[in-house]
Structure 1
Amino acid sequence: MARPTFRELTAQALSSVEHGYDLLAPKFDHTPYRTPDRVLNATVRVLRPYGPFGTGLDLCCGTGAGARVLRAVCRKRMTGLDFSAGMLDRARSAAPDGTWVRGNALALPFAPGSFDLVVSFGAHGHFLPRERPRLFAAVRTALRPGGRFAFPLAAPARPGTPAYWSLLAFDTAMRVRNAVWRPPFVMYYRTWPLTDVRRELRAAGFGVTLHPLSELGVRPDGSPRCRLVLATRLPEHSG
């Protein structure tokens, strides 16, 4: 199947987030937005020594790319959650062995302690900074004590580089679009700084470790281009 056309991408961008992804779903896996296999494989490498896990949740699963990670490290039920029915249809077709649930990541429709592992790929930009504490609290509730929450986080582009200006231009254009057009489409690339994310995870009751995803390369100073953030649910009294 061909990639989405410029007209199709424009229609998505002028829709709500949910409807936009419903429109994009049939061609999503042919866009650069699908999580690359090298990111999934690197995540599996880091998680394997901490497993095997029991039940796993792919949060904001999209078309189900994260199922590869859950299959590799979980022994029991594999679940994906997304708010786009179109994306879930694609995930269900690709991985009928999973349980695919339509729902809101900020109000997870699962009993407390349902999962041993929660992963998420490529969804950060859909949550505003003020929503992160609520998101982290929801994930903590869904995890069993000692459960893990894992997601890759890329290093910020260095000021003045082409990547820096490209991401800044995208976020600026999105803010202008949302200021003049309704419904809003929340997607930003520069709103999850590592320092803030670590602090908010700890405040939500997680212990946090960082693991370089060396397969994804290093920056000129030798630091990793991408890390896996691994947050462990602490006991209540450790909050």
Structure 2
Amino acid sequence: MAQKKFLNKVYDVETRDEVETLYDAWADSYDAELVENGYATPGRVARAMAKTGCKEPVLDLGCGTGLSAEAMRAEGFQTIDGTDLSAGMLDAARAKGVYRKLWVTDPDAPLPDGYATIAAVGVVSPGAGGPELLYAMAGALSRGGRLAFSFNDHALADPAYTGHLNELLDTGAFRLLHAEKGDHIPEIGLNSTVYILEKT
């Protein structure tokens, strides 16, 4: 099936331009392909956010077409802003009307502050965002702010990703509120661990 080519390619892209090009091309069929393959992480992250008492406003980093915001809204979150490298993905997200604000990410600029929660659903991963995104998110939060994110199997197998997470925890900069392994994209046999961290 033609749509499968995007899901099969996503973990092979490496440069920022490759990521942007792939996601722009994928925008029209992204939701259908991910739903068809059982994409579970948005719902899992949103439920973990609600369970641990994450506050608004929420910044949905790497928001894509808005699947993550739809899941957050289903859990009662209302004030959600989104940003993404792909203008094509943002066009699809804008059509859903689930965000307060949307903008194209400037990867060379610091993340905006003022958010109670920064979510990165399926974003901090090979084929999307590098492990340094954890530090960028951490730096944009004030004390008591929350990070809500996931590591899929590819990220969990890469010591750069787990090392960045462990450093945030081991230095005492953040405390772990929630960690739960489960389905990511079950139809292709991929799992993820969902994390909620609080800045101390």
TM-score (norm 1): 0.62
Q: Distance in 2 between matches of 1:195 and 1:6?
A: 28
User: Partner amino acid for 1:23?
Assistant: A
Q: Report SS of the residue matched to 2:27.
A: helix
Report the alpha carbon displacement of residue 38 of structure 1 after superposing the two structures with TM.
Answer: 3.4
Q: Distance in 2 between matches of 1:53 and 1:99?
A: 17
Report the alpha carbon displacement of residue 13 of structure 1 after superposing the two structures with TM.
Answer: 6.3
Residues 52-98 of structure 1 deviation map (CA, whole Å, 9 limit, x = unaligned): 512001111111111024322434x2111101111111111122543
- Asked whether 1:230 is paired with 2:189, we answer no
* Residue 136 (structure 2) aligned to one of 130, 135, 138: 138
Which residue in the other structure is 1:4 paired with? 3
Contact conserved, 1:42 with 1:213, CA < 8 A, in 2? no
Q: Report SS of the residue matched to 1:146.
A: coil
Q: Distance in 1 between matches of 2:67 and 2:117?
A: 16
Aligned positions of 1:149-188 closer than 5 A: 149-154=147-152, 156=153
* Residue 69 (structure 2) aligned to one of 61, 67, 70: 67
Change (3 A) 1:58 1:6: closer
Which residue in the other structure is 1:180 paired with? none
Structure 1 stretches of 4+ with a deviation exceeding 4 A read 12-15, 33-37, 192-195
Q: Distance in 2 between matches of 1:138 and 1:44?
A: 21
Contact conserved, 1:140 with 1:204, CA < 8 A, in 2? no
Which residue in the other structure is 1:211 paired with? 179
Q: Report SS of the residue matched to 2:49.
A: helix
Q: Over aligned residues, Cα RMSD in angstroms?
A: 3.6
TM-score (norm 2): 0.72
User: Partner amino acid for 1:122?
Assistant: G
Report the alpha carbon displacement of residue 116 of structure 1 after superposing the two structures with TM.
Answer: 0.9
* Residue 166 (structure 2) aligned to one of 193, 199, 202: 199
Q: Distance in 2 between matches of 1:35 and 1:150?
A: 23
Report the alpha carbon displacement of residue 107 of structure 1 after superposing the two structures with TM.
Answer: 3.1
Q: Report the number of matched residues.
A: 185
Residues 199-235 of structure 1 deviation map (CA, whole Å, 9 limit, x = unaligned): 1323482222443256x49xxxxxxx5432111112x
Contact conserved, 1:35 with 1:65, CA < 8 A, in 2? no
Structure 2 unaligned runs (5+)? 185-190
Contact conserved, 1:51 with 1:74, CA < 8 A, in 2? no
Q: Distance in 2 between matches of 1:104 and 1:143?
A: 18
Q: Distance in 2 between matches of 1:4 and 1:49?
A: 34
Residues 20-42 of structure 1 deviation map (CA, whole Å, 9 limit, x = unaligned): 21122111222248994533333
Q: Distance in 1 between matches of 2:180 and 2:111?
A: 32
Q: Distance in 1 between matches of 2:28 and 2:106?
A: 21
Q: Larger relative contact order (C-alpha < 8 A, sep ≥ 6)?
A: 2
Contact conserved, 1:43 with 1:228, CA < 8 A, in 2? yes
* Residue 79 (structure 1) aligned to one of 38, 58, 81: 81
Which residue in the other structure is 1:176 paired with? none
User: Partner amino acid for 1:118?
Assistant: I
User: Partner amino acid for 2:117?
Assistant: L
Report the alpha carbon displacement of residue 138 of structure 1 after superposing the two structures with TM.
Answer: 1.8
Q: Distance in 1 between matches of 2:36 and 2:151?
A: 15
Which residue in the other structure is 2:93 paired with? 91
Change (3 A) 1:55 1:105: farther
